[in-house]
Amino acid sequence: MSERIEKLSIIISKGSLEGVYPGLIMANGARAEGIEVNLFFTFFGLDTIHKDRYDHIKVATVGNPGLHVATLVGGLPGMSAVMTHVLERKMDRLDIPPIPEFLEMIADTGAGLYACRASVDLFGLEKNDFIPQVRDVITVGEFYEIAAGGQIIFT
Amino acid sequence: MATRTYDGTTVEVDSRGFFTDPAEWREAMAPAIAAEEGIPELTDRHWQVIKFMRHEYQDKGTGPTVRVLGRISGVGIKELYQLFPGGPAKVAARIAGIPKPQGCI
């Protein structure tokens, strides 16, 4: 048998629904396989752990060719909210949890949640702005120390 | 097909050690399977999860995911991972003699 993955660090850098879920699903799935996991949120990915924003993550309806919606139509007011609602209903049927519940669950699996120091400073945020499951705001160097000995996935 | 011997009985397992025929499983086999998974002793809380796995499998034909376990088994996600550090749904399914639960969540 090929060598088993023992440890993962997943970086979430996007703040759109389609940018956030893949990393969360991979993190949760890895924990279910007994793999050690740390999640590192950077740039707009910080919205995923932001107390006031993590329940309002939306699908990008403009500049997202995979959605197969014309840019002009995607740019209409309310379009992103409607598409997000449609996708959330589909995910609920597949038993994929909403982001707040998913984050709580992932933290409960023992995965570490960390925020990127540079991005936190850039956006004028502080640790209090994040959900309590976030362990710390860390520098890139500290991230590499935490990630040592494992694989790193950037999303 | 690989075989393993638990509690004096030889059973068929797949390449990852999951029972191919859940009907061959008996409670007395569970401690030996658990030991292979690094769990030295099965507590009442372990058994609560193992029995729930069996029940769900018999009911639905597939084992529950971790999320379902956390919601319905009476054991929360945190404790599930303490009881089965190798992954609750996966390891508990193996100990319970049922196939590995499918699903990404």
Q: If you average pLDDT over every residue of chain A, what do you get?
A: 94
Examine the residue annotation and report whether B104 is marked as an active-site residue of this protein. yes
**Mean pLDDT, to the nearest integer, of A16-41?**
96
pLDDT mean for each 10 residues of chain B (105 residues): 89 92 94 95 96 94 91 93 95 95 83
Q: Please check whether residue B76 is in contact with residue B45, taking contact to mean a CB–CB distance below 8 angstroms.
A: no
Predicted confidence band of residue A25 (pLDDT cuts 50, 70, 90) = very high
Inform me whether the pLDDT recorded for A121 exceeds 60: yes
Chain B contacts of A7, Cβ < 8 Å?
none
The interface predicted TM-score (ipTM) is: 0.90
Long-range contacts of B3-12 (CB under 8 A, 24+ apart): B6/B32, B6/B33, B7/B32, B11/B97
- Shortest Cα–Cα distance, A121 to chain B (Å): 32
**Which stretches of chain B sit within 8 Å of chain A by CB?**
65-68, 70, 76-78, 81, 85-91, 103-105
Give the C-alpha separation, A127 to B9, whole Å. 56
Q: Would you tell me how many other CB atoms lie within 10 Å of the CB of residue B20?
A: 14
Give the C-alpha separation, B73 to A25, whole Å. 22
Judge residue A1's burial from the number of C-beta atoms within 10 Å of its C-beta, 0-12 exposed, 13-18 middle, 19 or more buried. exposed
Measured between alpha carbons, how far is residue B102 from residues A116, A120, B36 in Å?
34, 38, 22
Strand (E) positions, B9-104? 9-13
Distance between alpha carbon A54 and the CA centroid of its chain, in Å?
Answer: 9
What are the structure tokens assigned to A85, written together? 């609602």
B-chain residue closest to A35, CA distance: B86
Chain B contacts of A28, Cβ < 8 Å?
66, 105
Query: Which of B60, B71, B75, B77 is most worth mutating to test chain A (most A CB atoms within 10 A of its CB)?
Result: B77
pLDDT in tens, A30-84: 999 999 999 999 999 999 999 999 999 999 999 888 889 888 898 999 999 999 9
A-chain residue closest to B88, CA distance: A32
% of chain A residues with pLDDT over 90 = 84
Residue located via tokens 């507590």: B43
Q: Are the beta carbons of B67 and A97 separated by less than 8 Å? A: yes
Inform me whether the pLDDT recorded for A154 exceeds 90: yes
Give the C-alpha separation, A29 to A11, whole Å. 15
Q: Please check whether residue A42 is in contact with residue A50, taking contact to mean a CB–CB distance below 8 angstroms.
A: no
pTM confidence score = 0.91
What pLDDT, on a 0 to 100 scale, did the predictor assign at position A1?
A: 52
